[in-house]
Every structure is written in C-alpha cells, then in structure tokens.
Amino acid sequence: MNRLAVYCGSASPEDPRYVELARDVGATLAGRGIGVVYGGGRLGLMGAVAAGAMGAGGEVIGVIPEAMIKAEVANFDCTELKVVRNMHERKAAFTDLSDGFLTIPGGVGTMDELWEAVSWSQLGYHNKPVGVLNAFGFYDGLLEFNRHMGKVGFVRPAHQGIIIDDTELDALLDKMSAYRPHTPIFHMKAEDL
C-alpha cells in the first residue's frame, strides 16, 4: 500500500484522545512510507491527520471541493491540494489516488465515504482493502450492525469480510496489507445472488 485514503471527521470532539489519535495515524502512516489522501481540510481530525503525516515527513494529498475553499477551511500545508467541483469528484479521486481506505472516527461525511468504499468493493468498482480503526470502541455499534446485516441476509457471505477492523492501527494495517479481494457482484451469476 503506497497511499491510503483516510476518512475522518472535520470536527474536534471535546475528548482530546480523538485529535491525538488522528495525529498518530498520520505519523504512523508516514513512518511506514504510506502516503495520505484525505479531505483537504485543516480543521478537526482531518487537519490532525495531515499535520501528523507532514510532521513525520510523509506525503499528504488533500482533495477538497471548491465550496470548502470558499469557506476557508482548506489546508494548504500539504504535499498537494487538489480542488474538485463537488463531493462526487472528491470520492472518485480518493479511489483513484489510493490503494485502500482507512476510516477513523468521524461523523456523517465519514460514514458516507466508508459505506461508498464498502459498496463499491462489493460491486467490483475497486478491489482495495477497506479498514476501520475501532479506537476507543467508537465503531462497536457500526461493526455489530454490519454483522447483523449479514446474519439477516442483506450482505452476501462472500462480502461479509469487506470491512477489516481492529482496535490497533499497526495490526489493522497488517491485515489490510494481507487483504485478498473477494468475488464482486459484477463477476457473480444470477444464481449466486
């Protein structure tokens, strides 16, 4: 994995562990020679990931919609800042520029990005690992819900392992590096669906 798209919040929760985690994620990725592709913002966990990676000498590519530039939240302290027209182009750029997806704590936008990465993997638009760092138990409910969808039958057995999770970053990155793509829906026959 040369680059990972890092999905995370643009907010800074009151609990300082979240911002510290984001900084550590950026620094750890840089230390492993993995570039960061992220939302291009300077606020919240987004800004902390970028600062952590840049501070450790890593590559940071921000991808930000024009509207966010106008809102003055862009982070110009990156290796490269790509300005796109909208969120659809931003998410396509995340997929094109990265070798996988790493989700750390965040809100609605983070969930949108995560579920799109999972859905696109399931369909076959990409065959890259999708990781969730379940720091502080933040994603316990989401991971349980994903298992529930599988138990009920809304996620096929072949796709129940798309989300790779761990509570520790190094272990998660190792799992993501070992990821072997599943059979996507585009390669299945009707009787398999």
| pLDDT tops 80 at residue 13 | yes
- pLDDT by residue (tens digit) across 165-178? 999 999 999 999 99
Burial of residue 56 (number of CB atoms within 10 Å: 0-12, 13-18, 19+): middle
Judge contact between 8 and 22, C-beta under 8 A: yes
Parallel, antiparallel, or unpaired: how do β-strands 3-7 and 130-133 relate?
unpaired
- pLDDT by residue (tens digit) across 36-46? 999 999 999 99
Between 69 and 173, residue with greater pLDDT: 173
Q: What is the pLDDT of residue 185?
A: 87
The CATH class given to the 3-192 domain equals alpha beta
Residues contacting residue 32 through CB under 8 Å, at least 6 positions apart: 173
Q: Which amino acid is at 159?
A: H
Averaged pLDDT of the chain: 95
Parallel, antiparallel, or unpaired: how do β-strands 163-166 and 35-38 relate?
unpaired
- Identify the CA nearest to 179 among candidates 121, 138, 134: 121
N-terminal to C-terminal alpha carbon distance within the chain: 31
Percent share of the chain, pLDDT over 70: 99
- pLDDT by residue (tens digit) across 97-153? 999 999 999 999 999 999 999 999 999 999 999 999 999 999 999 999 999 999 999
Domain-by-domain residue ranges, the chain? 3-192
Q: What is the pLDDT of residue 69?
A: 85
Q: Which two tokens stand for residue 144?
A: 């349980």
